[in-house]
Each structure stands twice: as structure tokens, then as C-alpha cells.
Structure 1
Amino acid sequence: MDRSGFLRPPDPTADTQRLYDEDVADLGYVMNLTRLWAHQPATADGLFDLMRRSLADHGLTKRERAVLVAACASAFGDSYCSLAYGARLADAAGEETAAAVLRGDDDALTAAERALAGWARKVARDPNHTGEADVQELRDAGFDDAMIFAITVFVALRIAFSTVNDALGARPDAELGATAPQAVLGAVTFGRPVAG
């Protein structure tokens, strides 16, 4: 297994290079998951566009999106997205709060954020066991039905993304492991280890 997972590197094309260049411009390095998704750049573009559109016009803050992804990824057992979004949540809410969310403890969150985290975990762990009461918790926290649908689509798409990454062996980037807060690193005790 190399840095990009179990697959061999994709053939170089203008689209694969575009994905790599975007990572370097944004992060200073090419992410392992980008090396994997470079096998189908159009699919990667479409998936991320669909994720963006699913929440467009629904007013979720960056912190709320970080709560959603951190709760979903950790419940699903995906170390890569847990570290990435745990770090983003740490920037927005503090590293102890982020680590707590990754462990399933939402006490430091607002009522709306607790509802988001709880829903994301239920969808990630066993969507066949959600019920009317679970949806009502989201309504009680201020989310209307259109937003609940959008949030659920977003979480489901994040699960699809994580499934591909995890199944094909994409390990969290060494750079991510080096920059994630210590409390976040300590909370991510599942999934694939950080790349060496």
C-alpha cells in the first residue's frame, strides 16, 4: 500500500494534474485521497459539487458543517475525515470540544449542533433505525423539513466519499497528522493510521 491506497497511480491527464494543482495551491501538498480520486476526476468533481449544492441556501455555518462531518466520520469509523474535520472543528470551537464530538460527547455544543451531531451519527451507524422522534429532534432544534432533507443528503454523500476512501486504503496524510491538534489526534483511535 502506498500513500494513495491500494490502487496504482492513475495515468496522468490534464484533469488529474488539475486536481493535484488545486491541492498544492490550497494546502501545499497533494492529499492521498486526491491521488485516489484522480482515477475519476469528473466523478470527484461531481460528488463535491453535489455535496455543496445539497447544503446551498440552507445557512449552515462552517462550524455546523464541521460538526456534521466530524460526527458522521467518527461514527462511521473514518479516521481521514475525522482528523480533517476534527481539526476544522477545533479551529471553530476549540480542540477539546472537537475531540469530544469525535468521541460522541456533545455537551459543549449548542442545542442545534447537538441535534446535527446526533442525526449524523444515526445516519452513519444505522439509517434503518431512525424514526419520527429523531426527525422531530431536528425540528425542535430549528431545522425545517427541507433543511432536514438537505442535511441527510449531505451526510449520506459524505458516507459515500468515506466508503470509497476507506475501502481503497487511503490513509490520512502525514501532513494532516502533523498539524491536527493533539486532542483531536488522541480522539481518533479508529480507522486507518496516518501515513508515514
Structure 2
Amino acid sequence: MSIIQTPDPSEATGDIADIYAKDIADLGYAAEYTRVMSVNPEAYRAFEALVKAIVAQLGKRRYELVTLAAAQALHSEHCRLAHGHKTLALMDETELERIARDYHHAQLSEAEVAMMEYAERVSLDSVHMSDADSMRLRELGFSDREIVDITLAAAVRNYFSRAIQALAVAVEVPPDLSERLRGALLAPL
């Protein structure tokens, strides 16, 4: 549990109350990571705006696949669980479980697998990346804009995941995740 003090949702006001309300509408509760990060509501809103700008061009499916891969590389249980939950709006649980366990063997397209590998590399070894990494995506048909957006999606996941990990935010399991899916999302690869 983080030492950062946050208002109870029933006591939140202004921007913080609005930020909490979105989580409550989506999850049924204000997640601790939202509560901690909304201590700086301007930064939280800027983060949301950046994600929105990335998703607008990349698309929700690609954004969530990149996010799941980056979160796995970062060992971010918070983000694997939260984005696993969000991804259920885009695919069924069986497909998501296959992706979570091993996306290389989950019947994804070659382009989707390469995009997820790229996101892992951004998260684990970006200092050693070269044009060859981006070229692989281009060879699979990604435009310059898509390559930049894939990179931004992975990098933004690094920002958020590392911040909530550093602040010792408790991991919360969305209550409507099945035990099987939860196990797949949290299983080490």
C-alpha cells in the first residue's frame, strides 16, 4: 500500500472527483493507482490526453496488445490486470488468455506479434534499439505514424507502470476477472 494519501471517493472534489468517477463508471470503484496518480490531476489528465492521441490513430486493439506486452516486460501486475480487463471489450476471454500466456502462439497475425515484440524491446532494452527494430515493423506494413504510435504506446506504459510501482501502489484485481484469466495475466513468461 502506498504512503501517498488520497481522498476517499466520497470526499473527492473537482478534478479528482471527476477522475475517480470515470474509474467508478468503468470498474465499479476508484482504483488505487488512479487515486495515487490523481494527486497531480494535471499530470493525470495530460497522461490521459496522450493515451487518447495514441489510440486515435493506432486503434484500441493494437494499443491494448502493445500495452499488455510492455506491461509483461515491466512485470507490472497492475497494468496487466487493468488492461486485461479493458481488452475483454475487444476480444473474448479465450483469445485474451492465449495472448496473455504466450502471444507468439496465440493465433495473432505476424504484424501483431512483431508489434508486441517491439513493445517488449522498448521496455527492456531501448538503449540498444536501432533502425533495424523499426524496419521490421515497416516491412510488415506499418506506416511511420504507426511505428511512432507503437513506440509511444510502449513508452507511455513504461511511464505509468514505473510510477505506480515506485510509489508502492497495491495491486488490485478487477472483481469480474475469472480465475483462469487472472492466472494467465499474472503468469511469468
Please classify the TM superposition score into its range, dividing by the shorter chain length: 0.7 to 0.9
Matched-pair contact (CA < 8 Å) for 1:119–1:134: yes
Q: CA deviation at 1:101?
A: 3.2
Identity %: 30
Q: Tell me: CA distance 1:15–1:90, structure 2 relative to 1, closer, same or farther (3 Å).
A: closer
**Aligned residues of 1:95 and 1:183 also touching (Cα < 8 A):** no
Q: Does the alignment pair 1:147 with 2:146?
A: yes
Q: What is the aligned partner in structure 1 of residue 40 from structure 2?
A: 40
Matched, 1:180 2:177: yes
Provide the secondary structure at the position in 2 that maps to 1:152: helix
Q: Which of 8, 22, 34 is the matching residue for 2:5?
A: 8
SS of residue paired to 1:106: helix
- The question of whether the paired residues in 2 share the 8 Å contact of 1:96 and 1:183 is answered with no
Structure 1, unmatched stretches of 5+, are 191-196
C-alpha change, 1:126 and 1:93, in structure 2 (3 Å) is same
Relative to structure 1, the CA distance from residue 93 to residue 167 in structure 2 (aligned partners, 3 Å threshold; closer, same or farther) is same
Separation in 2, partners of 1:23, 1:8: 18
Q: Relative to structure 1, is the Cα distance of residues 189 and 167 closer, same or farther in structure 2, using a 3 angstrom cutoff?
A: farther
**Structure 1 residue 81: Cα displacement:** 0.8
Contact 1:68 1:116 in 2 (8 A): yes
Match of residue 18 from structure 1: 18
| 8 A Cα contact 2:63 2:150, kept in partner | no
Give, in angstroms, the shift of residue 157 of structure 1. Answer: 1.3
* Corresponding residue of 2:75: 77
Q: Matched residue of 2:90: which SS? A: helix
Q: Aligned in 2, Cα 1:104/1:130: closer, same or farther, shift over 3 Å?
A: farther
Q: What is the alpha-carbon distance in structure 1 between the residues aligned to residue 20 and residue 42 of structure 2?
A: 14
Per-residue Cα deviation, 1:61-116 (whole angstroms, up to 9, x for no partner): 32222111111101111001101222333453443443343344322211221121
Matched, 1:88 2:86: yes
Contact 2:71/2:161 (<8 A) preserved = yes
Tell me the residue number matched to 2:163.
Answer: 164
Q: Deviations over 1:106-149 (max 9, x none)?
A: 22211221121111111011111222322122112211122211
Please give the secondary structure, in 1, of the residue aligned with 2:168.
coil
* Alpha-carbon distance in 2 for matches of 1:12, 1:152: 34
Partners of 1:83 and 1:184 within 8 A in 2: no
The amino acid across from 1:140 in the alignment is E
Equivalent residue in structure 2 for 1:62, among 60, 63, 66:
60
- Stretches of structure 2 that go unaligned for 5 or more consecutive residues are none
TM-score, L = length of structure 1: 0.82
Aligned mates of 2:85, 2:178 — CA distance in 1 = 6
The residue that corresponds to 2:31 in the other structure is: 31
Counterpart of 1:116? 115
Q: How does the TM-score come out when normalised to structure 2? A: 0.85
